[in-house]
Amino acid sequence: MPADGLFGAIFGRGSRGRADDPAWLGALLDAEAGLARAVERAGLAPKGSGAAVTEAARADGFDLARLGELAALTGNPVPGLARELARLVPPEAAPAVHRGATSQDIMDTAAMLLAGRVIDAVLGDLAQAADAAARLASTYRGTMMIGRTLLQQAVPVTFGLVAAQWLSALDDARAGLAAVRERRLAVQFGGAAGTLASLGEDGTRVAALFAEEVGLALPVLPWHTDRLRIIDVATALARAAAALGKIARDVTLLAQTEVAEVHESTPQAPGPRVPAGGQPPERGGAALPGAASVKRGSSSAMPHKRNPVAAISVLGCTRQVPGLLATLVASAEQEYQRAGGAWHAEWEPYTALLRLTGSAAAWGAELLGGLAVDGQRMAANLAATEGLPLAEHVSALLAGVLGGEQKEAHDLVARASERAVGAGLPLRDVLLGVAEFADRLGAAGVTPEQVEAALDPVGYLGASGEFVDAVLAAHDAGR
């Protein structure tokens, strides 16, 4: 997906670690150059061959469209690329190009190089997002809000706890990605059928030098049809996407007009591009409407709208990830020593998964870095149901005095809650003002003061503060 294409700014957000055709070409060339240097170091090519191939292996010297046409003749882009590269180097260096390799060796090694670069970018963006979540958790540690389960009001929580849950998932995702980056990105070098037979006794030595040259791990043997490394990369990316998607979904719900507990910052878009010559584009003699008048979150039809664009864009990326992961897992069933079709089926979903997770991480860092929290609205929403979210607390209070019967206490408070909803009254007024309930409480020795205390949300936050502190401490320790 071109970075400047129609959807590139949404699904290809961020300039670092991009996963696109130019990035693939660069990684393929880096793999070929690294192999040439390894071959020279092994004494299998004249001195200077590695440097000559590396000098020629620059992406600006290759025509992507032409390589794509050649790929249709051979089933992958490597044969055409290797021939073009050999043509660009001095004749004495040509034997170092693609020496001992099969196309899959270069493709898989490039896939690992590309993954490393994207993961580095994703880790940077996730770190920014996590730090922003940590600031939110610390700032709003004691800011009460209503907790919601099954999309209904439940019991009180704090926004600090919500942000701490986001932070914990982000840090877990970062740890998983870092582990894959460190331990699972390996060079691929096996030759035609994974034996390196064309290199004779030099095969394993060249493989080790190749790994060293490209900065990847050396596996114990080639992994042509063992695709667990691809699945590990994909799974780690999917975990990061899941963490980001959960945050974005929470923000879209909390930003609803009827909830309005958070909202995104609304930076103004840049103005229209001005071509060389200094004049803005025109149509029919009149200047085109400038993007400077477009604000983040605006609607083409409804002037009042302020949509949570960053959160929506995160979800637009992350919703595509499970299907891509499933395709990669399904493609891992590969026959014999080299697969016919399943390996080829990996390339596009793998690329899309890298790109979309990278974009989601960039959007996520922006989303959390500019998230505005409305504590007053949270308090108002918490108070809106007039004590009903504390029904569980009242039930727990009564369970200890109504003959030890948890069910009796639960049923009593449930009936009081139904009466409160039906009459439009606070739960307190029903418990203390309706004879059916007030008499039962009085007979059990429950005082109005105890009921009032049970209905105070401050006293029913449980270990929220401790959880926030623990997550923040873990985050600080993991930096």
Task: Say how far apart CA 34 and CA 191 lie, in whole Å.
Answer: 16
CA torsion 321-327-328-331 (nearest 10°) is 180
Q: To which H or E segment does residue 1 belong?
A: none
Beta bridge partners of 287: 282
Altogether, the residues listed in the chain come to a count of: 479
Consecutive H or E run containing 259? none
Tokens (6 digits) for 220: 């114990």
Q: How far apart are CA 351 and CA 26, in angstroms?
A: 14
Residue found by looking up tokens 């926030």 in the block: 468
In order along its 479 residues, the chain shows pLDDT tens digits of 666 688 989 999 976 668 999 999 999 999 999 999 999 999 999 999 999 999 999 999 999 999 999 999 999 999 999 999 999 999 999 999 999 999 999 999 999 999 999 999 999 999 999 999 999 999 999 999 999 999 999 999 999 999 999 999 999 999 999 999 999 999 999 999 999 999 999 999 999 999 999 999 999 999 999 999 999 999 999 999 999 999 999 999 999 999 999 999 865 554 454 444 455 444 444 444 455 555 655 444 444 557 999 999 999 999 999 999 999 999 999 999 999 999 999 999 999 999 999 999 999 999 999 999 999 999 999 999 899 999 999 998 888 777 655 788 889 999 999 999 999 999 999 999 999 999 988 888 889 999 999 999 999 999 999 999 999 999 999 98
Report in angstroms the alpha-carbon separations of 125 from 14, 87, 312: 9, 40, 17
How many whole angstroms separate alpha carbon 158 and alpha carbon 463? 11
Structure tokens at 260: 């309005």
State the distance between the two ends of the chain, measured CA to CA, in whole angstroms: 33
What token pair was written down for 275? 């071509």
- Residue 228: other Cβ atoms inside 10 A: 11
Active site residues: 299, 338
User: 3-state class of 263 per DSSP?
Assistant: strand
Query: Rounded to whole angstroms, what are the CA distances from 304 to 203, 297, 300?
Result: 67, 10, 10
Domains by residue range for the chain, with CATH: 8-266+304-377 (1.20.200.10), 382-477 (1.10.40.30)
